[in-house]
Structures are given as structure tokens and as C-alpha cells.
Chains A and B, each alone.
Chain A
């Protein structure tokens, strides 16, 4: 049993609240990502689960065991939490060989030598480092060092695996292949994972659920699809994917684009001033007709798509991304029409 429950957790450093009222239930075998810009409290939250920080308030349970509860002062130190952890800086010990690094958690648990050798070789094979046992970390590439860290975190069959931005020191190509490797390994071992990242595509591709955080506060918890298509607020919409924000005003059951007769269904029953949000790929461009008229301002050719900027009125520039269209379809300065699909409404601050 290795579900994790984080209840009403706060972390304050002096007067600064790094994490405020954090609540999350992670199911056994689930892959959950904590996603947010730097300084949003995601790493602090992970470090509280690991036991490197105490909660100022609240309770953390791993499996059946309460590991931190501020009310009765319960605090289980990191070494007694039965977790594996992978750090951004790899934290592979430079004075030990690859084999010794991976063997270390088993040695601490006093597993006998034969058993240890078998388990270490097994996990090294799994991360494709079977031949590298005798090497020292400084003889390995960054990606290989990260695999050593992963093997070390998994070798003792921990009930929970924590990953703190494990891929951000790797180059782009390697980052992508490691994503799939970690994902596949997690599915194969069925281990519960909490993964911290600021990279939305990492979170989207790997996670069962994503926790979007900002300024120490959870903004939304949900499946990747729901987070993308139904963001809870402006922050989430802006942080995940690209989005155009336009000012709108609610009149009855319609939200009007400010200064125009163009309106959208007010399905959230908002009132007053609102923000109308629409993603660039959900806008259609046409020369003949649409709900909004504008002028083509700039075009950026990206190979698989074209990124357009359309001037609407005096104030607004709308970004439109169209896949697989020919660059020359529209000319700069030409009048164009836009159609909005999947429009989202948010309260304006």
C-alpha cells in the first residue's frame, strides 16, 4: 500500500508562506506531477514529503504511516520513510562506482551480499547500464548519471518515488527519450510517483494527474486533458499551452468581446468584466468571413505550422497557429476574418 495523502499542509519560512493549504491524495501506483513556475512551492512540497522540511501545519501520510503531523509533533526522518528520490543535480556520489552507488540503499538495509549483487545488476540492466558497474560517475555522461540516480532510487523497492526536476540538466533530445524511459519503468514497476517539474510538456506526457501550483497555492488538480481544455483560472490557462486573452463584458447569458457585438455563451454564469480566452490553435482564419475582422500583421513560418499575428481594432493582437497551411496563403496587411472555437471565460482581476 503506497498511497500518499497530504492534508492542509502549510510551510512558512519566517513571514513568507512558501506553501499554503496544500491538499492532495495520490493513489497507489499513480504518477502525479507538481507543475508550476520557479518559486511556486512545488519543490518545497516535495521536500516535505521526503522529510527534508517539516510542515508548519498539516499532515502527510505515506502508505498507512503518518510521517509528519504538526499537531502531535510526529516527524519521521527521511531515512525512515521508505522512499526513493532522484535529484536535479543527480547527486551520484563521485567517490563510489556506479555499482557501489546503486548498492548503497541495500547495504544500509543489511541485505546479504549475494542478494545485493543480484538486485543491483537487475536494476542496472533495467536502466541500460548493465556494463557500467565498475565505472566512476565522472566517466559517465549526464544522462547516464541520471540513470544511475534512478537505479539507486529504485533498487530497494521503495513504496514511493520522488523526482525533483530530474531532466532539467539534460539536453533536449535526451530529455525527451528519458521521459518515455521513466514512464515505462514506472508502469512496469507499478510504483507511486510524485514528480516536480516546471516543464509543461514533461508533466503532460508522463502524468496521470497534474497539480498546477502558483505562489504556493494549488491552482488546479486534474488529468492532463482536463487541465488543458478546462483550466480552472487564467493562471492555469496561461501556464499550460498558449492562449490569447481578450477583454469581455457579460450581459445576461452572453459575454461580449469589448467594444463589439461579438458574443459567446456565458456558460459559467460570470458577471461584470470578464476575460475571454482562446487558444491560438482553436482559431480559424479566412479571407471571406468570420465573427471578427482584423488585419494580418506578421507571419512566422515554423515548418510544421505557421504562427500568425492578427491586429484586431487598435488594441489587440491575436495569435493564431495553423498546422500544415502554406505560408503564402495570407499576405501582410491583408484583411482577414477569425472564427473562435472552444472559447473559455474567466473573471477579470
Chain B
């Protein structure tokens, strides 16, 4: 009888987490789907028919699919050779390139969009001016406000998803599989074609799909780069409808949101099925250093290409916003006398701006704290227990994380503005719920991975010594997985801090966040203040990532 209370406390904690997750993740999505299909009390497709009969909406769907496909293909074509060069050859500066390419993932996409608009807008873009000067052109050679421009920026900022997936799979692949092909007489390129590529195929597809989903769900880049050129995608249409503010607008938005959700979640489901197939598992032997392919005479060429890409993808956009933030007057040229800290003064002394930064920090911290506690329970449940339905909370969290931000935001608006009891509309809590739904999955993954390393016997030994389950958690489990808990905290905090898509729909008069503020400044063409704020965000995100790196010794990074 003595161990009965232990089971009880465990059960209560678990039941509570499941209820919380059901209420904040599943319930709003069901309401969203219901609202999209039910018109005047009957289930039908009339809402969808009405929405897609409008040319602008249909065009947005086509644009979204086309752009996502383009970005997916471009990302795979760019990142697979780079993952191979960095993982399997004697390319110089491999580690630096790796850090830069993975690290570009932490630049908020809308900051990248702002930077590329600065560089390639047709009227005064830095690079356009440069090209005009060098090649004596009368007109700007590039127009960022185009499908091509949009695809370009999306590719630069979402291809890290593919790079990370592909290079991780390449690291996990037994290098002797490639060596066996070499001794069988195959050249390095033939080995790449016959062995590496087929074995990597599932991961390449998975990485590509991740990019497809991310590009299709993106709001910041299409809003900043696409809208000025009248290029609409699903997310920008949804925002436009919600901004209309009336019931019809919201209902139209639900049809678009559910379409987007079906595409994104359907693809993710397909992807996890693809990766879970067992065909490609191989026994890995002792860890010999993989044989590095010698690039020989191509070494310098490969280096130049990778370095060029890293420069264009990461250094150039950061350089652009940093430079712009120090230009005294945008109407004057880039002379040395035109640089100074002057643009920073009004931003730093502005109460409005500083309040937004403070708010975003506070919301991020609250979301991270709540999310970390929940993540620990969810991860513990799925990794360490054998209760029926133990992986259900994990699944719910993954469902939240895999749903496009814009869809989550819309579902939360519909559900939590009083029609179903709880009304947190335009309070900070609706923002925090949104952040939690979207970003908890990363922290659950991190904590679960580290929990699975803690052998069950350590826990049993504590129970044997007479500790209750909660006491065991406090004294044994939590201390052992502490680094991953802290890492999980940062993995929720950082994206919440600079979040734009959901915040843009969910903020109220007193809850404007830094992402929204920055987006407004950019749309009002206040590129200088936007640049200063971008630099501030970049510095905070970089600092957060450095701390995270220190804590996890490089094992986890955003």
C-alpha cells in the first residue's frame, strides 16, 4: 500500500498536463476547423467555395505552393553539396562554415527581409547602386519585390532547415559504407552518386519538406518583400482578412488557414513516416575518422563557392542592417562623414521602443518558464513511464509545433475571445499561449533526449531509499537533466522574444512586441529605426545563443 500515493501524484500531474494541452492546443484547432466548415449550422464547403472563387485567394494559394516548391528545390540543390563538402571533404575552414550556415537559422527571417530590401530594392538598393556603378547600368538590375526576389530571400533564410537535417544524417551515416565503395573501385564522385546520395535520400526529402512547410507558413518575408510588389501568399491573405475585423473576414480566414494547416501537417506526417522506416538502419562500428575526400585542384574553387554563399547568406544581410543603423542621413551617400551613432539616440531614448523590447523580453521569459515546466512533465511521461497513452501529450505538443504560426494565432483568436468561456483576447496571455503552442516542441525534444540517457535504475534507487516520486524528481532526475532543461528554456525564450507572425495578429493596444513594432516601422518605410531595432534583436539573440552554447557545450543551438 505504501507506493499508492506515488502513483497518485504522478497520475494527477500527468492528467493535468494532458488537460492543459488539450485545452490550449487541440480545442482551438477543432474550433477553427469547425468554423471553417460549418456555415449557418450545417457542414458544407460553401465557405471554401466562396473564398477560392475570389481570384486573389486562389492566386495566393498558387503562389504559396509555387514559391514553396521553388524554395524547397533551390534549398536542396544548394545545401546537399554544401553538407557533403563540409562533412566529407578536406574543404578548408569547414567548422567555421558549418557554424555560419547553422547559425543563420537564428537570424529572425524578417530582419533578413529588411536587409535584402535595403540591398536590392529597385530605387536605392545598395547592391543595385553598386551594380549600376560597376557596370554603368542606367536601371537597377534587380527588383527584390518580385517572385524571384521573394524566393531568393526565403531560400537564404529557410535552407538551414535542409542543411541541418541533411548534415545530421550525413554525420550519422557509417562512413565505412562510402569507404567500401572506394575500395570496390568507385571514384569519390561515383561513391557520392551510388552510395551517399541513395542512402541520404529520405533525409534529403525530409529536409526539403521542412523547407517547403517553413516557406509556405512564413509571414515576415512575404509581408516585407512580397506585399510591396503585390505578391500575395496564404499567410498574408489570412492577415488581411483578420485585419478586416468583421465576422466574414474571420470566416474567410479560417478556410485559408485550414487549407494551409492540412498541407503543412499532412506533409509533416508523411515526412515522419518516411524517416521512421527501418530500411536504412545500419550497424555502426567503431568510430573511425571518416576518410576525407581530397578535393585536390577543386579545393580552391569549392572554398570560394562555399565562402561566397556564406558571405551572401549571412554576412551581407547582417552587414547591411548594421551599416544602415549607423547612417546619419539616408538621403546622403555612403561617405564616412555620414556615419555615426546619431540614428541610435532616438531609438534608445524612445519610451515606446524600449517598452516593446521590455515586453518581448518579459513575455519570452514567462513563456519559457511555463513551457519548461510543462516540457519536463511531457518528456518524462513519454520517455520514462509505461502508462497507456504516455506519448499522447508529446504528440499534442508536436502537433502544436508543426502547425503554421498563422493558423495557431487565428485559432486562438476565435477560441479565446470569450465565445467559449475564457477571454484573454488582446492580453499578454494570448501571446504567451501562442508562443507555447508553437515552440514547446523544441524544448520537449531536448529534455526527452537527455532524460532517455538517465537510466531508470537511478530513479528506482531513490524510490528504494524511501523517496516519493516528486522527491525523486527534485533530488535525482531534475539535477541530472538540468543542462537540457536550461537549453529547453532558451529554445522557447529566443523565438518567442522575436516572434512576429502570431504577435502581429494577437497583440493589443498595450501588448505590442518588438517584432510587431519592427514590422510596422518597415512598412512605414522607416528603414533607419527598423535597422537599429534589428541590430538590437540580433545582439540579444546572439547573446542568448552564446549562453545556450556554453551551457550545452555546443550540443544544442537554435
Contacts and interface: CB of A to CB of B under 8 A. Distances in A.
Contacts of A78: 179, 182-183, 291
B285 A88 contact: yes
Interface residues of A, number: 39
Interface string B284-296: 1110100100100
Given A136-B279, A138-B278, A169-B285, A91 B174 contact: yes
Contacts of A145: 283
Interface in A91-111: 91-95, 104-105, 108-109
A85 B184 CA distance: 8
Q: Assign chain B's interface to a size class.
A: 20 to 34
A95 B280 contact: yes
Interface of B: 174, 176-177, 179-188, 190, 194-195, 198-199, 278-286, 288, 291, 294
Given A84-B183, A93-B180, A165-B285, 16 more contacts: A51-B182, A53-B291, A77-B294, A78-B182, A79-B182, A79-B183, A79-B187, A85-B179, A89-B285, A91-B177, A108-B184, A138-B281, A145-B283, A153-B183, A162-B183, A165-B286
B186 A85 contact: no
Interface of A: 43, 47, 50-53, 77-81, 83-85, 87-95, 104-105, 108-109, 136-138, 142, 145, 149, 152-153, 156, 162, 165, 169
A188 B555 CA distance: 51
Name which of A81, A85, A89, A105 has the most chain B CB atoms within 10 A of its CB. A89
B186 to A, nearest CB: 5
Given A94-B279, A108-B190, A89 B174 contact: yes
A70 to B, nearest CB: 15
Contacts of A94: 199, 279-282
25 contacts: A52-B291, A77-B294, A78-B179, A78-B291, A79-B184, A85-B179, A85-B183, A89-B174, A89-B176, A89-B286, A90-B285, A91-B179, A92-B180, A93-B181, A95-B198, A104-B184, A104-B194, A108-B186, A137-B282, A138-B281, A145-B283, A153-B183, A165-B286, A169-B283, A169-B285
Name which of A87, A91, A94 has the most chain B CB atoms within 10 A of its CB. A91
Contacts of B279: 94-95, 136, 138
Contact of A83 (B183, B186, B188): B183
A93 B182 CA distance: 13
A93 B174 CA distance: 10
Contacts of B180: 85, 87, 91-93, 149, 152
A87 B198 CA distance: 20
Nearest to A82: B185
Contact of A105 (B185, B282, B283, B291): B185
Given A52-B291, A89-B174, A138-B278, A152 B184 contact: yes
A147 B174 CA distance: 19
A247 B285 CA distance: 41
A104 B198 contact: no
A4 to B, nearest CB: 15
B442 to A, nearest CB: 30
Contact of B181 (A47, A77, A104): A104
Name which of B184, B281, B283, B291 has the most chain A CB atoms within 10 A of its CB. B184
B195 to A, nearest CB: 6
A109 B174 contact: no
Contacts of A95: 198-199, 279-280
Contacts of A153: 183
A133 B236 CA distance: 55
Contacts of A137: 282
A94 to B, nearest CB: 5
Nearest to A81: B183
A84 B184 CA distance: 7
Contacts of A91: 174, 176-177, 179-180
